[in-house]
Amino acid sequence: MRIVDGKVIVCSPGRNFVTLKLVTEDGVYGLGDATLNGRELAVASYLTDHVIPLLVGRDARRIEDTWQYLYKGAYWRRGPVTMSAIAAVDTALWDIRGKTLNAPVYQLLGGASRESVMVYGHANGSTEAETIAAVKNYVDLGYRAVRAQCAIPGVQHAYGVGRGTLYYEPAQKGRPLETVWSTERYLDFVPPLFASLRKEFGYDVHLLHDVHHRLTPIEAARLGKALEPSRLFWLEDPVPAENQAAFRTIRQHTTTPIAVGEVFNTIYDCAQLIEEGLIDYIRTTVVHAGGISHMKKIAALAELHHVRTGSHGATDLSPVAMAGALHFDLSVHNFGVQEYMRHTPETDLVFPHAYSFEHGSMHPGDAPGLGVDIDETLAAQYPYDPAYLPVNRLVDGTVHSW
């Protein structure tokens, strides 16, 4: 079964997406998500100019061999552009394999380890009252896990403040938005916010919070300790994670569970975190960490060390990546939770899909392959529209992690 054609479809139905489509000699095609928020065309070029020409003529069934061929064969290893491109190829090949065997991808990965996968939604507010109302909205929609974020008084544009809808999207047109950050105000504001949420909702709903890489290890340790009475499901990205050993400081001070990984590309980015037991949830996802094949290896390492998965699932992951994540989540033993930010209706129409949401959980569906398609005619009506993620500065103007 030879690959005879491949193309990259860039479209912007509400936000930008890069989608790889590989076609076999039998006319079966597979899809892979290659979206890298704010740097989309670099991955599109990597695929079009350097990868698709190498795929034509290869056997579409050799998924692992193709992964190694692209990873080791590039000589230049790792990195978000390379690994998103490899992820797209890998995902498309699993899609093709499922379609040709007439089986949903999760059946090829070992079958379902659970009936469905618990997801968490994003509750954002400009005030504590708004965040409480947003959490209530998710609880009323049936969610059993909710991530709560709130603007901080005196801090412009704290991470995760919504625009009054279910569709949170931080990337903006034009030059990057510059946001201002105060760690001091944040550290004072967040523990009482979660105390209020617990008072309102009790302990039956899982509460999560994303620090978005903004603290130092000792600050994160202090926050984790202060949040212990609120019993978070997890505290996400407490510090930038290039320095994996720095998580030891957090671990030595708090029992608040730690989650990390949305910007990781390979198992090497999290091996120390996992092997030293420095985290509780690994949040790598199909599109940015080398596809389904590589995610399985990360999950297998994590399982040895009591670390569960919590795949990233923001709106900058297309429905193709979301489907891949759901097949992965359903099949791996050590699944924890899946992030689920709803795509806009425009996005859902461009990418018809078999996955579904019910009672706070999702299921990938039983369509062959990934169970997601792309309407290319509709996609063509939404041309690429450059957008950037914000740049963050401290109050005195120093560039800080966003």
3-class SS of residue 320: helix
**Directed axis angle between helix 183-201 and helix 217-227, to 10°?**
20
Task: Give the range of 38-46, 56-64, 262-270, 321-329 binding Co ion by CB under 5 A.
Answer: 262-270
Spatial neighbors of 304 by CB under 8 A, at least 6 apart, are 274
Half-sphere exposure of 37 (CA within 13 A, CB side): 19
Per CB under 6 A, contacts with ligand EZ4 among 206-245 are: 210, 212
CB 50 to ligand EZ4: min, Å: 24
Residue in 278, 218, 215 with CA at minimum distance from that of residue 245: 278
Per CB under 6 A, contacts with ligand EZ4 among 255-274 are: 262
Is there a catalytic annotation at residue 159? yes
Residue facing Co ion at closest CB distance: 210
Q: Rounded to the nearest 5°, which phi and psi values hold at 53?
A: -60, -30
Q: Does 84 bind ligand EZ4 (CB under 6 A)?
A: no
Task: Give the range of 3-11, 15-23, 49-57, 207-215 binding Co ion by CB under 5 A.
Answer: 207-215
CB 212 to ligand EZ4: min, Å: 6
CB 294 to ligand EZ4: min, Å: 19
Q: Identity (one letter) of the amino acid at 68?
A: Q
CB 147 to Co ion: min, Å: 8
Spatial neighbors of 235 by CB under 8 A, at least 6 apart, are 208, 209, 211, 220, 223, 224, 227, 256, 257, 258, 259
Q: Does 314 bind ligand EZ4 (CB under 6 A)?
A: yes
From 32, 125, 162, 170, residue interacting with ligand EZ4 (rule: CB under 6 A) = 170
Active-site pick, 46, 106, 120, 159: 159
Tell me whether strands 17-24 and 3-11 are parallel, antiparallel or unpaired.
antiparallel
Q: Which residues bind Co ion (CB under 5 A)?
A: 210, 262
Contact set with ligand EZ4 (CB under 6 A):
37, 170, 210, 212, 262, 312, 314, 316, 339, 389
Active-site residue set:
159, 212
